[in-house]
Amino acid sequence: MRNHSNPFTSLDYQLEMRLDHAHGALTGQAYLDSLDDNREVWLDGQRVRVTEHQAYAGLRNEMARLYDLQHSDALREQMTVAVPDASYRISHSYTLPQDDAQLDAKWANSHLWMQNSWGQLPRVPDFMANVVVGLHDYQAELAKVDPQFGANAAHYHAYCARHDLSITHAIGDPQIDRSSGPAESADLALRVIKETPEGVVIRGAKQLATMSPFAHEVLIYMSPTFAMRERPEFVIWCALPMQAPGLRIMCREALARPENSFSHPFASRYDEQDAMLFFDDVFVPRNRIFLLRDSKTAFEGFRRLNAWSLYVGQIRFYHRMRTTLAVAAMVSDSIGVSSFREVQGKLGELTTYVEMARLALLGMQQERSRTAGGLLAPGSTLGPDTFAAQFGTRASEILRELGASGLLMQPSEADLATPELRPLLERYMRGKDIDVDRKSRLFRMAWDLTCDSYGMRQELYERWNRGDLARNRIALFNQFDRSEIGQRILDEISVPAPLPAGRELHAAPIQLDRPLRAAANDIAPALAAHMNPPLSPAIEGNQHEQ
């Protein structure tokens, strides 16, 4: 049964977004206790309790460990900050950076979250906390639509920060028929079906909500792909507790496998789960609505909301690449191929990706600027995001090439403990300067990263979590300022190239005050005759072969 002694797990407390029982930065046990509510989570056809089901034990415990880091003597000052009007501290994840020192402290905290989870948790709480920072920063624009929307955004940030909430987001439409739209079929998108002075009722579905079973809240907004709706009832930004009545969470297959002793060091701890969210006529109170009907504000707001979170995503990618490189190097050492030229080339390629990610982080820090909301934000992540989507898969491919068949054939923990097998394993499955126990666990780690269903999920996530790659490339091209270099090229091609001494070009001079195309048409015949003199018959006859 649910623990009724915890005020925070009360649905009324959550819907009202009260602050009277706020506690600041969570401990691991407080996090676990906070999940003990009435959320409706479905796994493999059965309704399950997140706090009890064995499939969720690994990430449950890992999340608790990560939250406890905030209270460790070594990291408390780096991960949390004092609140002037309270006796508790809050996570730097929710810091509203006003100056360089606050922004640097914020990123130091993000690095600690990602480093301590090996870059394997894309939806680590630090990520969505920074989306809420973006929501707070965008409040003035939301207030132009409705003053209450702006006030709601500011209060939501305070509510999340003071309770140290873990949040998922739901921004994509269900994958039914991408050739159609919600104007033709209402089930293709989440929509408002009723509005009253107290709030709205929403119906529909959202995919893909990562970390849903382990989150306290879902923040609903819209990616640029889906923001420009044809009908206003399909435009809504809001937030709900995961236990909101009518909200059903259907999880994908769990990737952790506790049923055998084959080692899965990452899958067993970092399967953060993805889910479909079904909104079966869910009531959203007015105080939890941030935007209604205004598709232009929704479209323009996506980048503003994610100005900090996308940088956090790049920090995670950097730590994921560091992990992949280190495992690849150790795998190569363990089988004695590190000195091979081809292997060194592949390890060098991996190192290139790590360095590109590191330098991109530094560059975006250098380009920090003040937002329209008054906060300090990093430079655009659009270029690095496109880079990560392209090369994350290549990094996994390199590790698969280096590990080769060894990734498939490694003993389980039970095999290692079996007396009949142990002498054979020590003799035939050891590595170079590494015993069979450590070698097998190392290769199982590589398997998790690149071959197991967990690794494939991570690759798929890396490819698509930042949105459609082609769309991002187009946006990057359209935003890139080519005006200065374009003008220099135009100046360069607006006059003829110098002729050799003694050669004259018999053509009318270019009229620089006329359109360039017309001038080019005037000079083209003479220029062609000069640049392409008649070929000798012998050369002319060989043009097709050449």
DSSP letter for each residue of 159-200: HHHHHT--EEEE-S--SS-TTS-TTT-GGGS-EEEEEETTEE
pLDDT tens-digit profile of 395-444? 999 999 999 999 999 999 999 999 999 999 999 999 999 999 999 999 99
What pLDDT was estimated at residue 532?
Answer: 43
Which residues of the chain are under the pLDDT cut of 70? 1-5, 504-546
Token pair belonging to 313 = 């995503």
Phi, psi of 61 (to 5 degrees): -70, -35
Is 68 assigned to a binding site? Answer: no
CB count in 10 Å sphere of residue 78: 16
Is 248 assigned to a binding site? Answer: no
What pLDDT was estimated at residue 529?
Answer: 43
The amino acid sitting at 75 is L
Is 474 assigned to a binding site? Answer: no
Is 210 assigned to a binding site? Answer: yes
Kindly tell me the sign of the dihedral angle through the C-alpha atoms of 372, 373, 379, 381: negative
pTM of the model: 0.89
What pLDDT was estimated at residue 291?
Answer: 98
The Cα 349–Cα 395 span in angstroms is 8
Long-range contacts made by residues 505-511, C-beta under 8 angstroms, separation at least 24?
505/530
Does residue 526 contact residue 505 with C-beta atoms inside 8 Å? yes
Is 176 assigned to a binding site? Answer: yes
3-state secondary structure of 265: coil
Is 162 assigned to a binding site? Answer: no
Is 178 assigned to a binding site? Answer: yes
Is 170 assigned to a binding site? Answer: yes
Is 298 assigned to a binding site? Answer: no
What pLDDT was estimated at residue 505?
Answer: 60
Average pLDDT, the chain: 91
**Please, which residues have CB within 8 angstroms of residue 426's CB and are 6 or more apart in sequence?**
435, 436
- Give kind and range of the element (H or E) at residue 41: strand 40-43
Kindly tell me the sign of the dihedral angle through the C-alpha atoms of 318, 324, 328, 331: positive
Walk me through the domains of the chain, giving residue ranges and CATH numbers: 11-299 (2.40.110.10), 316-464 (1.20.140.10)
Q: What is the DSSP string of 269-335?
A: HH---EEEEEEEEEEEEGGGEEEES-HHHHHHHHHHHTTTHHHHHHHHHHHHHHHHHHHHHHHHHHT
Is 450 assigned to a binding site? Answer: no
What pLDDT was estimated at residue 384?
Answer: 95
Token pair belonging to 24 = 């600041």
The Cα 273–Cα 252 span in angstroms is 7
